[in-house]
Amino acid sequence: MPTEASNDPIRVRTVTVRTGRILFDIEVPDPAHRYSSPKLAAFVTTQYPNLLAHACVNGTGDVFGAVVETTSVPHILEHLAIDVQTRDAREADATFVGTTEWLDEEQGIARIEMSFRDDLHALRAFAEATRFLNTAVLTCSA
């Protein structure tokens, strides 16, 4: 799953599958692409409106919508991947959780950790979310 496309704003460096959770180390090399903006938030939430209501531990509110315009791009990726997993889950009550942290913010290296029920489904969800967010970041920074 690691990507090497030099024009992608978000690149997956490593994927580690553990019992019940997956860790994705990602790179956002360009500092201009590391954080959201109102334009990016609007683009993303138009396609994924449920993101706004995602539970989210942050310093501003109880939901992701409280920080979506100012948060890190890796944090958006975490919520997108969880949203895709939830949307495609066979169980109506499926719940997924995740965390995002900068490992080296100056270099644009972050770790996303998320739960899953099916590892292959989670990997597909993360790949879909990454493709979409790469397009969104490029579209909104043009």
- Domains of the chain in sequence order: 11-137 (3.30.1360)
Higher pLDDT, 90 or 55: 55
Model confidence at 33: pLDDT above 70: yes
Tell me what pLDDT residue 142 has: 75
Tell me what pLDDT residue 3 has: 47
* Residue 77 token pair: 């990726």
* Residue 30 token pair: 């360009």
Tell me what pLDDT residue 91 has: 78
- Tell me the average pLDDT of the chain: 93
| Mean pLDDT calculated for residue range 113-138 | 96
Lowest mean pLDDT across 2-16, 52-66, 117-131: 2-16
| Mean pLDDT calculated for residue range 76-90 | 92
Long-range pairs, 2-5, Cβ under 8 A, ≥24: 3/130
Tell me what pLDDT residue 5 has: 58
CB atoms within 10 A of CB 38: 11
| Mean pLDDT calculated for residue range 4-30 | 92
